[in-house]
Amino acid sequence: MRGEVELSRVFEDDEVLAFLDHKPVFPGHVLLIPKRHVATLDELTPEEVPGLFEKLKVISRAVPLAAGGQGCFVANNNVVSQSVPHLHWHAVPRTRGDGLKGFFWPRHAYADRQAQEAMRARLEDVILQELILDFWFGPGPGPSSEFYVKRWFAQDAEFDRSLRERFGKAMQTALDGGLTSWETTPRGRLALILLLDQFTRNLGRHTAAAFAGDERAQRLAREMVDQKIDQALTFDQRIFAYLPFEHGESAEWQRLSLKMYEQLRDQAGEKYRNYLTFAEKHAVIIEKFGRYPHRNEALGRESTAAEKAFLEGPDSTFW
C-alpha cells in the first residue's frame, strides 16, 4: 500500500499527505490525510485546524484546475464505513452532467499507469503553484488584505525564514531551469515569476543571488504580456507580473514597465497609482546610469563617482 501511495503522491509536508485515490470517482480524485492519526474531525486540536484546512482549501481549488473540472466535491470520512477509522478528505473534480450518482458512484479508472502519472504530476504542480499564490496574495480572487500587502516589500527575517522553509526548494528548481510545465497557464507562470523575481530577492537579499532569476523572469513576463494572458490575473497579481520589467537594467525594460503600470492604473484606478510612481522612480535611475548603482557591490561592479554620490542620497536603495 505504501508503494502505491508513493507512486500516487501529489503533496506532502509535516502535517499531511495527499495522493490520488486508487479507485477514483473521476481522474484527479485526491485523498488528503493528516499524518497524526485521528478518527474524526472533532478530534483535531485547535492548533492543527488552520494548517490542515489551508492545504484542504488549496487542494480543493487545484483538483478542478488540474483535472479540467468546473468545481470540486469535498467530503470527509465517516466512521460507519471504515474498518479502521482515520480522518481523511476526498476532493473530487466535478463537471455539469458528469453522471455522478449519489456521492461516489460510478467510479472511473485511469486508462493506464501513464495517464495516472500524468494526472499525479499535474496535480503536484498545481497544488504547489496555488500554495505559492496564497502565501503571497492571500486567499480569494479579490484585492489582497493589508496583512499581505505589508509583507511584499518589507524586510522581515521571520517571513523570509517561512518562505525559505516552504518554497526554497521550488525556488532553486526554478533557478536551475526547471518547472517549465508551469509556463503553460497564467497562474502557473505567475507562481514561477514570483519564485524567480521576488523570492530570490527575499532569500538572496544584498547578494548576487537576489538577481539570479531576473533573465528568465523577464522572458516569462514579456511572453505573458505579448500573449495578453496577464489580463487573466487579478490587479494585485499583475503588479508582480510586471515587476521583472521594472527590475531590468535597460531603457527597453523601463519603457515596458511604465507602459504596463500605466495600463494597470488606468484599468484598476488610482489605488494602484503608487506602483506607477515607483516604476517612474526606477526608470529615472536607469535613464541616468544605465544600471542600478545599489547592485554594484553585490555584483562586483565598480561604482563611478556619480554613482557613489547617488548612493549617499535618498531614494537610492531600490532593488
Q: What is the mean pLDDT of the chain?
A: 94
Q: Which three cell numbers stand for residue 144?
A: 489582497
Cα(236)–Cα(234) distance, integer angstroms? 5
Residue 319 scores a pLDDT above 70: no
Q: Provide the CATH topology of domain 141-311.
A: 1.25.40
Place of cell 471504515: 82
Residue 2 scores a pLDDT above 60: no
> What DSSP letter does each residue of 222-263 carry, written as one string?
HHHHHTTGGGGS-HHHHHHHHHHHHT-SSHHHHHHHHHHHHH
Mean pLDDT for 146-165 is: 94
Active-site residue, selected from the candidate residues 22, 88, 108, 294: 88
Specify the CATH superfamily of domain 2-119: HIT-like (3.30.428.10)
Decide: 125 and 63 in contact? Cβ < 8 Å.
Answer: no
CA distances from 125 to 11, 17, 237, 242, 259 (A): 9, 15, 19, 23, 32
What tens digit of pLDDT does each residue of 114-146 get? 999 999 999 999 999 999 999 999 988 889 999
What tens digit of pLDDT does each residue of 191-220 get? 999 999 999 999 999 999 999 999 999 999
What is the pTM for the complete model shown? Answer: 0.90
Cα 318 to its chain centre, rounded Å, is: 24
Q: Which three cell numbers stand for residue 9?
A: 503522491
Q: Structural domain boundaries of the chain?
A: 2-119, 141-311
Q: Identify whether 294 is a catalytic site residue.
A: no
